[in-house]
Amino acid sequence: MQPFEGIRVLDLTHVLAGPFCTSQLANLGAEVIKIEIPTHPDMTRDDGGVQKLNEDLMGTLFLSQSAGKKSLTLDLTSNDGKDIFELLVKTSDVLVQNYSGNKLEKLGISYENLSKINSRIIYCSMTGFGRTGPKANHPAYDVVIQAYSGIMAANGWSSEDPPLRVGPPMVDYGTGAQAAFAISSALFQRERTGTGQEIDVAMADAALMLMSAGVTETLATGVSPKRFGNSHPELPYYSAYKCSEGWIMLGAYTLKQAFDLMNALGYYGEAMEIKNLTRKTISSVSEQNRKLINERIQENNAQYWEDILNESHVPAARIRRIDETLKEEQFLSRKVIQKYKSPLLNGAPEQLPVAAFSFSHGGPKLSGPPPQFGEHTEELLLDLGYSINEISSLRKKGVCL
């Protein structure tokens, strides 16, 4: 049995952060019903690197976080749509939404209203800046939060260089993970109290959590940590180097690891010197050792050095592209990428990312393919007690597709 079997989630999210949150719940057994406006599918449905999939409203940005969900098209501004939605609320455990401002409140879809229909409902709002504060109504995307939170200013080579965004939408996925954890906690709490919960998740807050160490240092000193790009100014053992072919990132952070690194590179005297130093005095040999490391590293390719250093228990990795990483035996041996039956369309991948953890039993898995737009509308309305004729009438009125 998976943890969330029997849990029904109403998914009123779009783009990345919200859908990633609900996909994590789906991968752990929840029935996730993705509700989309009949005339406005989730914008990620036509976004991605495969044009044919975009045209079929199954873009890779949508596929990446939609496996196993059900798709219901519903006009929540219509009276019929509101009636259907109320029936769904009565039978659901969780609602997740990431609309900015008070758009849903204007439609009556607030925690206050829904808790009167179902006192056990867990209502999770995901917004750029949260539901409170002077920026509560301001819209945001990942890059905006990177700029606002300090991530862009913390990323890059030095204070003289321009700020640099993190390429992948890390804030979106970090926010989705925080929200999934919050919902899981609220479900556990409900088992004890019997009552629902209102959750307020902000992308800006999640960004700070992703920088907890830097935030703590800034709170203590009043000064933001310095930027140093790929090369730590005081620890040459914790820096990137160009090899004869490719690049390698060294992650020797402790004195023992620095000793093992220099030893593995054949610098035995320098290794013994490090053994007699402390965290406070190790910087005295940083520049000379940086030059030595750079010289030795250039003698061979990055994969050679990764193998040699890992054998000596030194943290190090050849810098890879994603397409290279996905071919690695390490990932192939894990369950982070899984098959979800057969591909839906030409160009669709046979596998999708699932979760960053596994259980000994009942763990995360893909329960089915990502849904076509409105694929489960009829199934869900029949389940709510609507007849085929009534569903046909609703479709003619544009309440659903």
Catalytic residue positions?
232
Beta-strand (E) ranges in 108-186?
122-127
119, 145, 168, 370 from 97: Cα distances, Å: 18, 18, 22, 19
Torsion of CA 200, 202, 207, 211, to 10 degrees: -30
Contact between 139 and 148 (Cβ < 8 Å): no
Backbone phi, psi, residue 36, to 5°: -125, 145
Neighbouring CB atoms inside 10 A of 391's CB total 17
Note the Cα 342 to chain centre separation in Å.
25
Give me the numbers of helices (H) and strands (E) for the chain, helices first please.
Answer: 19, 11
Angstrom CA distances, 190 to 27, 112, 183, 198, 213, stand at: 21, 17, 10, 12, 32
Question: Do residues 317 and 337 lie in contact, with contact meaning Cβ atoms separated by under 8 Å?
Answer: no
For residues 100 and 61, the answer to whether their CB atoms sit within 8 Å is no
